[in-house]
Amino acid sequence: MTGVAGSKAPARRSRWGLHASTMLLLLAICGVLLRLTGAAAWLLQLWLPLGLVLAVLAPVWAACGFLAATVYLMLSMMRPYNVVQHLVEMVTGVALILLMAPVF
């Protein structure tokens, strides 16, 4: 690792990655898209477990993704997580929660 000029501290590298918060928010986005297109009812009739996981539990995934992104953001103080990625995930989680407020 290289440090800053005149500094002996190693440079911190931010890592873009697929974390638990990213996966939970992707599940929530799939659920929102299913609800908005009207495919959620069709999926619930076709295959109930998948419909429950994607369409019905989408608000839960959004809330859990927001909480996980918040935890990763707090951990970014100690570890080289990418702060921008988790801020975007937090905003996405809040937007999804607000979008699905009638479902709660």
Residue 31 lies in a domain: yes
**Contact indicator for 100, 58 with CB cutoff of 8 Å:** yes
Residue 74 lies in a domain: yes
By residue range, what is the domain housing residue 40? 20-99
The 10s digit of each residue's pLDDT in 51-99 is 888 888 888 888 888 888 878 777 766 666 677 777 888 888 888 888 8
Residue 79 lies in a domain: yes
The 10s digit of each residue's pLDDT in 7-20 is 554 455 555 566 78
Residue 91 lies in a domain: yes
Q: How far is the C-alpha of 68 from the C-alpha of 86, rounded, in Å?
A: 9
DSSP assignment of the chain, as one string?
--B-TT--SBPPPPB----HHHHHHHHHHHHHHHHHHTHHHHHHHH-HHHHIIIIITHHHHHHHHHHHHHHHHHHTTTS-B-HHHHHHHHHHHHHHHHHTTTT-
Residue 11 lies in a domain: no
Domain count for the chain? 1
Residue 12 lies in a domain: no
Confidence (pTM): 0.66
Residue 1 lies in a domain: no
Residue 8 lies in a domain: no
